[in-house]
Structure 1
Amino acid sequence: MNSREIKIPIDDIEDPLNKASLAIDNLYLIRNSFYPENPDDKISKLQQESHYCLNLLDSIPPEFRKSTIQRATYEHLKGKVLDVFPDYRKEAEDHLSKAVKLNPSLTDAWLSLGNCFWKKGDLLSAKNCYNRALSKGLDKNVLCQLSMLERKMAQDSENKSELVDESIRHAKEAITLDVADGNSWYNLGNACFTSFFASGAWDHSKLFQSLKAYQNAEKDEKMKGNPDLFFNCATVNKYLENYDKALSGFEAACKIDPALDANGEVQKLVALLDRLETLLKGHTKAKRLASLVSSLVSVEPNIPYKKATVDLLFEGLNKSTAVTSKVLFYVKHENVTPLYYVACDSNQMCFVLSVYGLQDNVIKERDQITLLEPWYKSVGFSWKGKAYSFKSIRVDFKEQIVVNGKTLSAKQATSTSFYAQHKST
């Protein structure tokens, strides 16, 4: 996006502090909306605009810096300019600290100081600043930053789930202050997405919550230029097996920010889909399948579920239903979650199996597995002239999988690394 197209006009502003404040708003618009192909160009642009803002501040006549409130505003604005860059700057901390000492009621100064401490790596001081800001009154921007910080703190905490739950609570609180604010919805989407991983990467209800929040964020015109929104929404769609939406979302993210590795995600997903198609169509000959699944015909699982084959499944969750099948292939791919397999049922119907929340190597090729309450999806779409069509079953570890007659134990649940899959907090 061309930064010159998003500037707020400031020439008609008479009050020099207000004029500087609007110039700094323009500076942050560039930070948040300017995505050149070369990231160094963004730093150069920020340096250029920050110099302009600092000169504007330094040119303010002394009579506009007399009162305590005026001096606090000046210190706040100067610190905010210096803190626009991604790295920590002590000079920014010094000016922002002066601002809150001179006027402890400056909510945005507390917010800026908290952001500065975060860059410094002092997360506890950052959280204290956000809480001090909220003590002056609820503010959606502060609540969103606090929500983000809690997710960051959860990464190295023994109480991951508790902190992520707090993050979700604060994200929802921000939305109640402005239900139309896309950034607040985006933040909630990220919080729910993080919760999916923090709780073991199996609970798809958290993905549906995340997707709904992202969709609400997209309704805000200001979010149209946020590449991370499209990237994270695409990732959620990938896990929900909405592959066409995932691919188009990654492509949209790449168009906004060429430096983002969204194109790499497209290539990885297409490679996975091509691999699945190859295994389904090229290595499942009738005689071989008949031999492999012959042992499945006589199986009567000792469980209170109705036995079914893939062709009898409904789209979505199939409650009180069990599908017994043979694992044909384990499908290697670049992401941690989920595990992919190609399997076939007793009718020699081949399908893609995606398993969440389970350690690698628990299910092996030639294993006989019974899938309890499977989530069925018929995948069919075209991408760049190539058609993809296959049947898919998703099973979460919590819903149980019986492997070679044995129910899996909790010890075999995944230890998926926190934040393993999504780009932005």
Structure 2
Amino acid sequence: MSRESDEETDLLENVPEVIDSLSKELQELYLFRDMFFENHPIELATDKNKLVEEKQKVLIEKFETINDDKQIPNSERARFLYLKGRCYNIGSEYNPLATQCLSKAVKLDPHLVNAWNELGESYWKNMNIKEAKSSFEGAIKHDRNRLSLRSLSILLRQENAGADPKEATAAIAKSVDLAKEAVALDTKDGVSWSVLGNAYLCQFFMVSQDPAVLQSCMRAYKQAFSDPIAKGQPDLYYNKGIALKYEEQYAEALDNFEYSCRLDPVWETPRREISKLIQYLTSVCELIRTKGKIKVKKLTQMAKGMDKKMLGIYGPGIFHTFGSRRNVLLEYATLASLQVGSNEGKVVLAKVIGSVHTETAVPFTFVVVDENKDCVAVTVYNWADGRGAIIGDCVCIPEPTVLHHQHESDTVKFDFKVIRVNNPMHLLMNGKRVGRNQFASARVTSTYEVY
């Protein structure tokens, strides 16, 4: 009997049905993982990976009982190897067997888009960014699908995290566009919405701390939460928590970090973020409460020593333009007279009595005292590294926006007011306008994203 005849006799019976059955079981395995918290209490979070691995092991055994070279015909081999590789690839750790199967699959059928995407994710887990990117681009050549687009969006940001500001800005813009395209292909896919939110969040740090960008980020996250698969991912809560922190919605930020910890108990990053945020809030409250620990006599001298000449261009009788409003006259106001929210037509003058340092330097936070010795915090965004205010500086803030932060829980209690300044060039420091050279050109943050 010829070799070809021997190979034919080795073929499985009903191969299409066998592969369809394996495909269905694999789909059920991924749904078990992705919808875990829809079907199980969050208290089982620590057992999730173990339970997924147990089911994976059973299915892998079924795949491994089949010899793809001898028992699967050429016409079905690429599909079989893709499914087998996808089964190996379900875990968060790199599995070389996944790369091996998926590489064979795309060689046998270069048009198999799903295999290209899965291969890209396998390379990514091994931190082989070049090959991962090449794989996703290989899929794009055949079909501009949402998985490839959103993966390339993430990779672009990772590649350009430390790049030249101009290159990084261009890469971030393209990253946002790719994520938008992914969302447009399926507006119900929460994972794509989550990636778009992360792209906006990265734009907020690396390009400009524009509140409008942060709002776009939050809208994307809101859409992501409508998808049960996306809302079971700890990274969504973590990244939303980061965005909330810079929107200064601290209580909600802490809630999101804490829930992220519950979904992934071994992931330390959100736990560290909670610790840092609590430390920051506690420091701000303490600095305001103690008035910078400055002695009463000196504090009184600082309060009384404020010269109205430091109002500079914001002094009486000088017209200003704020947005679409023209010929605006500013009226001097004390800190106590300010209302929560916007204070149009008002200007405050105060002296810096201390600052709070953070790892990211965003925002630059300091505490001021006015002539009545009232204190508030000031948070300034887009202020370049190495810039800022020091104790004794006289700060003039036109049309201040006042926020009142108040919260009490088992982990932290805070109650303080803050003036938020999005553009440092609106400030006067010691009577002089903050220069354009002090406007921040780039900030960087790292966000966790699942593959």
Q: TM class, shorter-chain normalised?
A: 0.7 to 0.9
Q: Does 1:277 align with 2:285?
A: yes
Among candidates 18, 21, 28, match of residue 19 of structure 1: 21
Q: Does 1:294 align with 2:304?
A: yes
Q: Which letter does structure 1 place at the counterpart of 2:356?
A: V
Cα distance, 1:108 vs structure 2 = 0.8
Matched position secondary structure for 1:391: strand
Matched position secondary structure for 2:111: coil
Change (3 A) 1:314 1:104: farther
May I ask how many residue pairs the two structures share in their alignment? Answer: 409
- Structure 1 equivalent of residue 251 of structure 2: 244
Larger mean CA deviation between 262-271 and 187-196 belongs to: 262-271
Among candidates 227, 232, 238, match of residue 231 of structure 1: 238
Q: Which letter does structure 2 place at the counterpart of 1:294?
A: K
Change (3 A) 1:386 1:256: closer
Cα pair 1:17 1:60 within 8 Å, conserved = no
Q: Which letter does structure 2 place at the counterpart of 1:15?
A: E
Query: How do 1:39-54 and structure 2 match up within 5 A?
Result: 47-54=53-60
Determine the C-alpha separation between the residues in 2 that align with 1:127 and 1:231: 25
Determine the C-alpha separation between the residues in 2 that align with 1:386 and 1:166: 40
Residue ranges of structure 2 left out of the alignment (5+ in a row): 1-15, 321-329
Determine the C-alpha separation between the residues in 2 that align with 1:153 and 1:322: 44
Cα pair 2:291 2:353 within 8 Å, conserved = no
Q: Does 1:74 align with 2:80?
A: yes
Larger mean CA deviation between 246-255 and 125-134 belongs to: 125-134
Q: Which letter does structure 1 place at the counterpart of 2:197?
A: G
Determine the C-alpha separation between the residues in 1 that align with 2:396 and 2:449: 37
Cα distance, 1:360 vs structure 2 = 4.0
Change (3 A) 1:308 1:130: farther
Q: Does 1:126 align with 2:151?
A: no
Larger Rg: 2
Query: How do 1:199-218 and structure 2 match up within 5 A?
Result: 199-200=207-208, 202-218=209-225
Cα pair 2:206 2:444 within 8 Å, conserved = yes
Q: Which letter does structure 2 place at the counterpart of 1:329?
A: G
Cα distance, 1:404 vs structure 2 = 1.6
Deviation sequence 1:51-89 (CA, Å, 0-9, x none) = 323221233487972142x10111112222333344444
Matched position secondary structure for 1:214: helix
Cα distance, 1:44 vs structure 2 = 5.5
Determine the C-alpha separation between the residues in 2 that align with 1:298 and 1:40: 61
Cα pair 2:88 2:98 within 8 Å, conserved = yes
Cα pair 2:46 2:264 within 8 Å, conserved = no
TM-score (norm 1): 0.84
Q: Which letter does structure 2 place at the counterpart of 1:106?
A: L
Determine the C-alpha separation between the residues in 1 that align with 2:87 and 2:105: 13
Query: How do 1:18-417 and structure 2 match up within 5 A?
Result: 18-29=20-31, 47-60=53-66, 65-68=72-75, 70-158=76-164, 159-200=167-208, 202-261=209-268, 262-283=270-291, 289-299=299-309, 300-303=311-314, 304-305=319-320, 306-309=330-333, 310-313=335-338, 315-316=340-341, 322-358=347-383, 359-360=385-386, 362-384=388-410, 388-414=414-440
Determine the C-alpha separation between the residues in 2 that align with 1:395 and 1:424: 30
Root mean square deviation of aligned Cα: 3.3
Change (3 A) 1:398 1:361: closer
Cα pair 2:393 2:430 within 8 Å, conserved = yes
Larger mean CA deviation between 328-337 and 138-147 belongs to: 328-337
Change (3 A) 1:263 1:28: same
Residue ranges of structure 1 left out of the alignment (5+ in a row): 1-13
Deviation sequence 1:324-381 (CA, Å, 0-9, x none) = 2211111234553222211123443311111222224531111111234543212233
